[in-house]
Amino acid sequence: MRVPGGVKHGRRRRKVLKLAKGFQGKRGSCYRIAKQSVIKALRHQYVSRKLEKRVMRQLWMIRIGAATRTHGVSYSSFMGGLRKAGVGLNRKMLADLAHRDPETFSQVVAIAKGTEHV
């Protein structure tokens, strides 16, 4: 004898419709269409989590580059100088320093410049 969907069937549908809450038109209310939209939205969400890391790193590099140019140093020579000096600050921290504490950042630039000519 065939067992109709029942509880499991309803739960699955409710889960999909809950994820589709706020979607426009039938995408948020009609199960068949909502299911497709939810699958695509979850895929976009997954990709965007990876993209965000890439975009943030680019932003930090731009901020560091802009801050180092005001001190007369290029981004690449600054990062190379830091590496030679053994400074273990990552790009996120450097960008934050450049933005919030320019005096400290200028000291870091001086350290990078000092090792540049050795």
The CATH number assigned to the domain holding 79 equals 1.10.1900.20
Domain-located, residue 26: yes
Whether the per-residue pLDDT at 116 is higher than 60: the answer is no
The model's pLDDT over 64-95, given as tens digits with 9 standing for 90+, comes to 999 999 999 999 999 999 999 999 999 999 99
At residue 118 the predicted structure's pLDDT band, cuts being 50, 70 and 90, is very low
Mean pLDDT for the stretch of residues 17-29: 96
44 part of a folded domain: yes
Tell me which residue range forms the domain holding 14: 7-116
Report yes or no on 2 lying in a domain.
Answer: no
Indicate the number of domains in the chain. 1
What single letter denotes the amino acid at residue 116?
E
1 in any annotated domain: no
pLDDT category, 3, cuts 50, 70, 90? confident
Q: Is residue 14 part of a domain?
A: yes
